[in-house]
């Protein structure tokens, strides 16, 4: 089983971000930390027999939380749950929000993997995104992490930033590759409704959907060029692509995310956190004050409980599993659903294989390189 802990605090919310996070004051940060620990204590008896093999502490910006609150959360986590001694414990951090003291503390409390949100090495692009840091701050944060003894580091890089070019992306990737992080996530900017980015680029989003030329956002062809360049440079630097947006040195794949794609059960704690166990998908309350009130009153903060149908579970198995380069196993499908995969998806698999989008080998089904290039379209065929 896996554990996710959500820390919804940021120094400043980025212009493109639609995650449940915000710039709350010290009192809210303290009260939320207490509520989060109380939520752990509420769930501890229910998961007393569970063994957690991975933990992911995300946000928001977990590193923006005061170190004394974070220390209490990490201590409570191990007090309430059985975390494997060699568990992969990841924490997201943002450049300019960590100190040597904070990093040494979380290392002492068992955090062994960091995910640093760089997004771009171009200061102009960072300003466009509304990020609080520049590339120099990222370099300082990376150096602090290495000095604190972190030898499993991911760096997030974003493509599709307004004004981004193959030259600027290539420079970002080259600068990051020289640092030799163990893992690099390279994903495309999504312009979500309700964000300052959407208000700024709404007309461009509409043009994209209609296949018309855009003024600021990259076209589909330009987005593909950026993705292809990223993949080329990362392959050349011996990073293996194990998922559509994720590249790692051998042995440094993110086990927690692999668990998501393989539908491993997980418990999510905190504001808006999602959980998956017992065939249900649960979602916590999305309002921070309501979340804390529910905890104070002794109620579980779950506001959505969906029991997946058999068809929904099979669809998830396909579109999540096919994100991984290794694809999915026919035997695993049979074991989970007591049905041959061809009986459910035979015509779709044959059609996509004939089009060169899927490969069939050794009892596994996977996206081909061509299929990965249009993965959204391919994966939608299984919905």
Q: Are residues 173 and 316 located together in one domain of the fold? A: no
Using CB atoms within 10 A of its CB, is residue 40 exposed (0-12), middle (13-18) or buried (19+)? buried
Find the CATH number of the domain harbouring 330. 1.10.10.920
pLDDT class of 179 with cuts at 50, 70, 90? very high
* Number of domains the chain is built from: 2
pLDDT, one tens digit per residue, over 308-325 is 999 999 999 999 999 999
Residue ending a domain, among 220, 244, 261, is 261
Structure tokens at 276: 């998956």
Residue ending a domain, among 261, 295, 327, is 261
Classify residue 68: in a domain, yes or no: yes
Spell out where the chain has E strands.
2-7, 51-59, 82-93, 113-119, 153-159, 183-188, 240-243, 246-248, 266-269, 274-277, 280-284, 302-307, 328-329, 358-361, 364-367
Q: Is the pLDDT of residue 60 over 80?
A: yes
Classify residue 296: in a domain, yes or no: no
Q: Is the pLDDT of residue 13 over 80?
A: no
Find the CATH number of the domain harbouring 156. 3.20.20.70
Residue ending a domain, among 221, 244, 261, is 261
pLDDT, one tens digit per residue, over 119-167 is 999 999 999 998 889 999 999 999 999 999 999 999 999 999 999 999 9
Region 183-200: what's the mean pLDDT? Answer: 89
How confident is the model at residue 143, as a pLDDT?
Answer: 98
Region 50-74: what's the mean pLDDT? Answer: 96
Classify residue 129: in a domain, yes or no: yes
pLDDT, one tens digit per residue, over 358-381 is 999 999 999 999 999 899 899 999
Nearest to 156 by CA among 197, 111, 188: 188
Q: Which residues pair with 83 in a beta bridge?
A: 52
Q: Is the pLDDT of residue 279 over 90?
A: yes
pLDDT class of 237 with cuts at 50, 70, 90? very high
Classify residue 139: in a domain, yes or no: yes
How many whole angstroms separate alpha carbon 350 and alpha carbon 333?
17
3-state SS, residue 220? helix
Region 180-209: what's the mean pLDDT? Answer: 87
Average pLDDT of the residues of the chain: 94
Q: Are residues 257 and 317 located together in one domain of the fold? A: no
Spell out where 139-202 has E strands.
153-159, 183-188
* Domain containing residue 17: 2-261
pLDDT class of 202 with cuts at 50, 70, 90? confident
How confident is the model at residue 332, as a pLDDT?
Answer: 97
Q: Is the pLDDT of residue 206 over 90?
A: no
Region 330-357: what's the mean pLDDT? Answer: 96
Q: Are residues 237 and 374 located together in one domain of the fold? A: no
How confident is the model at residue 141, as a pLDDT?
Answer: 97
Q: Are residues 103 and 192 located together in one domain of the fold? A: yes
Classify residue 230: in a domain, yes or no: yes
Buried b (16+ CB within 10 A) or exposed e, 168-201: bbeebbeebbeeebbbbbbbebebeeebebbeeb
Classify residue 283: in a domain, yes or no: no
């Amino acid at each position: 089983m896996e554990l996710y802990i959500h820390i919804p605090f940021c120094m400043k919310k980025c212009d493109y971000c639609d995650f449940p996070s915000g710039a709350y004051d010290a009192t809210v940060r303290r009260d939320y930390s207490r509520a989060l620990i109380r939520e752990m204590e509420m769930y501890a008896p229910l998961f007393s027999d569970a063994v957690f093999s991975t933990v992911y502490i995300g946000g928001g910006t977990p590193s923006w939380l005061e170190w004394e609150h974070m220390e209490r959360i990490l201590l409570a986590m191990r007090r309430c749950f059985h975390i494997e001694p060699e568990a992969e414990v990841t924490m997201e951090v943002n450049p300019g929000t960590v100190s040597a003291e904070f990093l040494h503390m979380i290392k002492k409390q068992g955090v062994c993997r960091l995910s640093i949100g760089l997004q771009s090495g171009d200061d102009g692009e960072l300003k466009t995104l509304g990020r609080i840091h520049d590339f120099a701050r990222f370099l300082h944060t990376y150096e602090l992490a290495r000095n604190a003894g972190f030898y499993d580091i991911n760096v997030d890089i974003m493509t599709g930033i307004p004004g981004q070019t193959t030259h600027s992306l290539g420079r970002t990737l080259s600068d990051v590759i020289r640092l030799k992080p163990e893992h690099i996530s390279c994903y495309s900017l999504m312009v979500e409704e309700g964000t300052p980015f959407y208000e700024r680029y709404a007309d461009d989003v509409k043009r994209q959907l209609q296949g018309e030329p855009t003024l600021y956002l990259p076209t589909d062809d330009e987005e593909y060029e950026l993705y292809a360049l990223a993949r080329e440079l990362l392959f050349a630097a011996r990073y293996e692509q194990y998922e559509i947006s994720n590249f790692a040195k051998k042995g440094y794949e993110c086990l927690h995310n692999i668990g998501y794609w393989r539908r491993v059960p997980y418990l999510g704690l905190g504001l808006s956190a999602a959980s998956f166990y017992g065939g249900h998908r649960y979602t916590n309350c999305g309002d921070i004050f309501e979340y804390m009130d529910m905890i104070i009153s002794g109620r579980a903060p779950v506001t959505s409980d969906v029991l997946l149908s058999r068809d929904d579970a099979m669809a998830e198995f396909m579109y999540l599993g096919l994100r991984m380069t290794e694809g999915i196993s026919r035997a695993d499908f049979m074991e989970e659903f007591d049905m041959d995969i061809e009986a459910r998806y035979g015509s779709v698999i044959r059609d996509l294989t004939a089009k060169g989008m899927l490969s069939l080998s050794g009892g596994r089904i996977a996206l081909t390189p061509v299929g990965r290039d249009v993965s959204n379209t391919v994966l939608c065929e299984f919905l």
